[in-house]
Amino acid sequence: MKHLLAIVLICLGAMAQAKPASLDALSAYLTDLGSVKARFVQTNADGSKSRGTLYIKRPGRARFEYDDNEALVVAGGGQVAVFDSLKNASADVFPLRRTPLNLILARQVNLKRAKMVTAHGEYPGGQTVLDAQDPDHPEYGQIRLLFDRTPLALAGWVITSETGEKTRVDFDSFEPAGDLSTRMFNIPLIQKQRGG
């Protein structure tokens, strides 16, 4: 019994000393993502859920294809476009730099930049969590990034908008996506294809 207690105490001590993945390691991971894809589940501010596939082509490009309503969100050319459905060719378009996505789609991610990371720690179970914002424009919103540790992998994020609404996205494993066509992220071309 004493041996079992000693093992439990050693394990608890090791857990207490566990540290989150370093900002250097997380910056390098995000910078090196390249072209990847993953299935996702999005939980919206009203509690509703959507599913789809995310494609990332770094730097600066992302595409969320939604399963249920054929909605589409595209980041490319320094902008983010939100298409409600295939029936709507027009899109709400915003500068990418005004969204928290800009932080992880940058050519060189540097999470050690002054005032970018506002919190950095570890959840029970070993998941690294950090909160980040544009240090020059915190009013643009915040992104909470969640990382699995073994192996290091982006597991999800929670984006808090300028208005305080939270949208959570949880990912399955990311996998290489090959050479994704830049046409997938060309907002004017997508508008034209949708009849805009």
pLDDT confidence tier of residue 3, bands split at 50, 70 and 90: very low
In this predicted structure, what is the pLDDT of residue 89?
64
| 2-11, Cβ contacts within 8 angstroms, sequence gap of 24 or more | none
Q: What is the pLDDT of residue 1?
A: 46
54, 157 in Cβ contact below 8 A? no
Residue 8 in tokens:
């439990």
Model confidence at 104, pLDDT cuts 50, 70, 90, reads confident
Determine what percent of the chain is predicted with pLDDT higher than 70: 88
Give the model confidence (pLDDT) of 147-167 as tens digits.
998 899 999 999 998 888 999
Give every CB contact of residue 83 below 8 A, 6+ residues apart in sequence. 71, 72, 73, 74, 89, 91, 190, 194
Average pLDDT over residues 168-173: 95
Phi and psi torsions of 40, nearest 5°? -140, 160
pLDDT tens for 57-97 read 999 999 999 998 778 999 999 999 999 865 666 789 999 99
Instruction: Specify whether domain 20-193 bears CATH 2.50.20.10.
Output: yes
Quick one: average pLDDT of 15-28?
82
Domains of the chain: which residue ranges? 20-193
